[in-house]
Structure 1
């Protein structure tokens, strides 16, 4: 058994590189954020926003050295893993009159050296903020109150102004309030209507593509630096829950100790290859796995996409071995559903570029049915539009497709789709029929059929990043309604997997939790925590009291081949 030690690791931020000095895309990323709590101690977390304070902090980021301006020694810190904060905290109160800062190099990502910088102004009176830059900071800001409730921000790298660089402003609730580029002097201003009372944060990213060197014996050809700088405006009420740094942060899910649900290895043969963003389904007591991504995170090429169909006969138990069956096109971001003894492959995207070349990614319209009796694929009606990063589920003889986007070259030219369709699988000549328009545009969702309805869970939005939102489609009335959001921060909804089993609906999220929809349909109960926290995996019902966790990856650990089981007791 190979357990879950990775051969490849997942990156912790998404960005693009262009030009000799460029601003990386900040559409979604995890950053370290530095602040102070009501006890006067420094706190730092690693999340997608100022509000996302319970995401696991990588060990390399935890090792950051924080310095209080004018102090002789670094600030002593300890790790924290609580319901409202996961990260580090100073062991003693910090100097409330001195700026706090730090830098840490995370490592290499696709040939670039990734470094994080953090700053925090603990002074509650803006007139006490430092007006001069620090002498030894590789990247920093100087924030000056304008006396009208707004601020002027100067951005510097190695002491020099950063011109024409995008600067984003976030409030304590994690919303982006404004974004604009610096002028020739590295200056940008935010107005009183954009700066909110409480904690505010500045985010800046810079990539230099003409810098070469080595890190831990590995070469790099560029550097990428991210800076988050926080400051507070107009915070005076110490009893205000927001001032405690936890009001905007979703509570960390707590497992119901009486759920009777357990998670552990199955003993089944491990996946024959490492896969994410693949299709999987169980049909006729056989587990089928098709396509998927086999390469490094966010590296896409023909060589890194699978065109293989694998099958494992579950009736043979632990003695079963994987069989490679009829192949097809190279795809990832596809859906695979069961219909009788057959499986149906829907959409996905193909990379037509070679390894290391610029990405050339194209969403597909192809739909095909695999017949185990003949070991052959047969084409079904094509999707009305190219679609990938979608999911699908079956009710009766109809398959429903929700979510996704259309890629036509690279992600910068993607079209987020707000359409949904169904296909009658009992009719070989059937065409796709449009459903009521979804009230959302999302990709990387999970879709599950439950109690005659379709649940579209979480995903990524074109604006606002990942979400835990749940939308419910009723085929009988051809209408949409709101469902209860799954527990956790926004990232919990990214690349989840969901399925119904034993009369209940379950959702597995990237933070390792398994949630069950309450009988009332108005909330979720967290019933288990997985040792191997996965996303872009598949959770499938082997039988009424067991769900299989297949494939996927973890940002800190890498890809998994071991198959876990979520065992449901009679209480379920």
Structure 2
């Protein structure tokens, strides 16, 4: 179980959190430039559900001046935060908080959960190392700058902690996980200026009891909310998550997307909760974002409600293929049927035109264009209340023909869905997916149009899930795959193995990764098992 899922399970097991809460929650003190200090309870340093503030209502808050003197601050509800007022005339210093959450149980484990939190001046201030707040916050994070990177030191009772888990969220940095070294230090490259949410965990084998409840260990979390600006002598690594693009109008998974003439197009997709399908949870909108002059997303057309479809660009037009439609209403038993429809959209005309339908209804597949030829590979046919049929066929369509007709490829040596298809070096790659037998896989198969043969390519690195719902595309002469584990893998020059080019800021699956120019991708949509759906659209510079 992931840390976030585990944490939520613990809170629910203790009767301390509503089952509707989807994220882990921590105590945060928010940066302030006023006489008020705000405290919140959320996954990062920003206000969350105000109904959850009751769980930290007894938290203690102090302002610790540069002379080491501390003043206790009273907290009162204020909108979606708890608010305290700084002492009159107080300037500088640090603000720290502490809260014993209580004894929780998970299976055979019983532990005391403690929270600590801090905020203060921007990164670079000597106040962070000058003031010792150990008396009020036993577990601390002390920020500084080292060689252009942000460094945090984790201490317990003033002594550095080695091998502690540190998590960072901020502009251009999402769920970055670090481990402290022997000196208690962990470093990371800042993405962009802004507020960063940093937390650390420390576990002690210590038994005791609180309110008659015994525990076997103490689990402590300390959070740090800090502003990082260009004045902090930090090198911002905007190349890892370059300038933000407008968010998707609606977060979606299992959709079609393509880049055409400097614009990003997104069609259809699943908008609802995971594994819950209905007609109204499927999008029927074709949206467009101008990547050259990003403004707002615009709706350019509509069509059937679909997910599990493919969308490809060729010769100034978009081609939409297959997908499945939920015929049931929300709350009803699922009636899911794959579709065979194929249509072409000319942005200059602003309308869809039908093309020859797929030889059989198909969804959860992928498509790629090599030259003027469209390739359709993988997938299955959902048939309502009847059993689904896994396809062992693959097809091509000559997009340059006056009257294009579907032509069968040699039978693929696999049956997989939720895979990625990509054209590279004169061949078509079928990457990963879910097998009819054997579950998720990292297998790769390659079709060579010159010989008409399928061959086995090198498997992706990592666990089988790395191939499930992955995204693949070639740029600048190399083939790349982004995986559920957040790896950006690249096929070696000799085509014999995959290498990890870098870790991505957001680990996604059932997303799309599309080249916008040599060496640069745009990544859109998808989800993460811990976070849920993404509405963020970001660039990846592979060089």
TMscore range, shorter length: 0.5 to 0.7
Q: Pairwise CA RMSD of aligned residues?
A: 2.7
SS in structure 1 of the partner of residue 417 of structure 2: coil
- Return the offset for 1:64: 6.8
**1:416 equivalenced with 2:390 (yes/no):** yes
The equivalent residue for 1:532 is 506
CA shift digits 1:72-117 (9 cap, x unpaired)? x7899x998999xxxx99999xxxxxxxxxxxxxxxxxxxxxxxxx
The equivalent residue for 2:365 is 390
The equivalent residue for 2:380 is 405
Q: Does the CA-based 8 Å contact 2:501-2:542 persist in structure 1?
A: no
Q: 1:453 aligns with which of 415, 427, 430?
A: 427
**Taking CA–CA contacts closer than 8 Å with sequence separation of 6 or more, which of the two structures ends up with the larger relative contact order?**
1
CA shift digits 1:177-230 (9 cap, x unpaired)? xxxxxxxxxxxxxxxxxxxxxxxxxxxxxxxxxxxxxxxxxxxxxxxxxxxxxx
Distance 2:278 2:264 in 1: 27
The equivalent residue for 1:503 is 477
**Cα distance change of structure 1 residues 79 and 461 upon mapping to structure 2, 3 Å threshold:** farther
**Cα distance change of structure 1 residues 66 and 358 upon mapping to structure 2, 3 Å threshold:** closer
Structure 1: give runs of 5+ residues left out of the alignment: 1-10, 13-62, 93-259
The equivalent residue for 1:361 is 336
Q: 2:539 aligns with which of 562, 565, 568?
A: 565
The equivalent residue for 1:302 is 279
**1:378 equivalenced with 2:419 (yes/no):** no
**Cα distance change of structure 1 residues 461 and 82 upon mapping to structure 2, 3 Å threshold:** farther
Q: Does the CA-based 8 Å contact 2:468-2:509 persist in structure 1?
A: yes
The equivalent residue for 2:451 is 477
Q: Does the CA-based 8 Å contact 1:308-1:324 persist in structure 2?
A: yes
Structure 2: give runs of 5+ residues left out of the alignment: 1-7, 10-103, 114-162, 166-176, 180-200, 206-236
- Return the offset for 1:388: 0.1
Q: Does the CA-based 8 Å contact 1:67-1:74 persist in structure 2?
A: no
Scaled by the length of structure 2, the TM-score of the pair is 0.57
**Cα distance change of structure 1 residues 531 and 366 upon mapping to structure 2, 3 Å threshold:** same
Matches within 5 A, 1:37-436: 65=106, 67=108, 263-316=240-293, 318=294, 320-410=295-385, 413-436=387-410
Structure 1 stretches of 4+ moved >6 Å? 73-76, 78-83, 88-92
**1:519 equivalenced with 2:493 (yes/no):** yes
Distance 2:387 2:304 in 1: 23
Distance 2:273 2:106 in 1: 30
Distance 1:79 1:378 in 2: 58
**Cα distance change of structure 1 residues 300 and 374 upon mapping to structure 2, 3 Å threshold:** same
SS in structure 2 of the partner of residue 448 of structure 1: strand
Q: Does the CA-based 8 Å contact 2:369-2:423 persist in structure 1?
A: yes
SS in structure 1 of the partner of residue 292 of structure 2: helix
Q: Does the CA-based 8 Å contact 1:284-1:340 persist in structure 2?
A: no
CA shift digits 1:458-511 (9 cap, x unpaired)? 000111110000000111111100111111101111000000001100000011
CA shift digits 1:249-269 (9 cap, x unpaired)? xxxxxxxxxxx9953153221
Q: 1:443 aligns with which of 417, 430, 433?
A: 417
Scaled by the length of structure 1, the TM-score of the pair is 0.55
Distance 1:273 1:297 in 2: 15
Distance 1:89 1:438 in 2: 51
SS in structure 1 of the partner of residue 364 of structure 2: coil
Distance 2:312 2:106 in 1: 49
Distance 2:339 2:267 in 1: 15
Q: 2:467 aligns with which of 483, 493, 504?
A: 493
**Cα distance change of structure 1 residues 341 and 89 upon mapping to structure 2, 3 Å threshold:** same
- Return the offset for 1:65: 3.3
Distance 1:529 1:521 in 2: 21
Distance 2:443 2:339 in 1: 27
- Return the offset for 1:391: 0.2
SS in structure 2 of the partner of residue 281 of structure 1: strand
SS in structure 2 of the partner of residue 326 of structure 1: strand
Number of aligned residues: 330
Distance 2:105 2:337 in 1: 40
SS in structure 2 of the partner of residue 491 of structure 1: helix
Q: Does the CA-based 8 Å contact 1:261-1:566 persist in structure 2?
A: no
More strand by share: 2
Distance 2:249 2:317 in 1: 21
Distance 2:105 2:505 in 1: 26
The equivalent residue for 2:29 is none
Q: Does the CA-based 8 Å contact 1:263-1:564 persist in structure 2?
A: no
Distance 1:332 1:424 in 2: 24
- Return the offset for 1:284: 1.3
- Return the offset for 1:543: 0.6
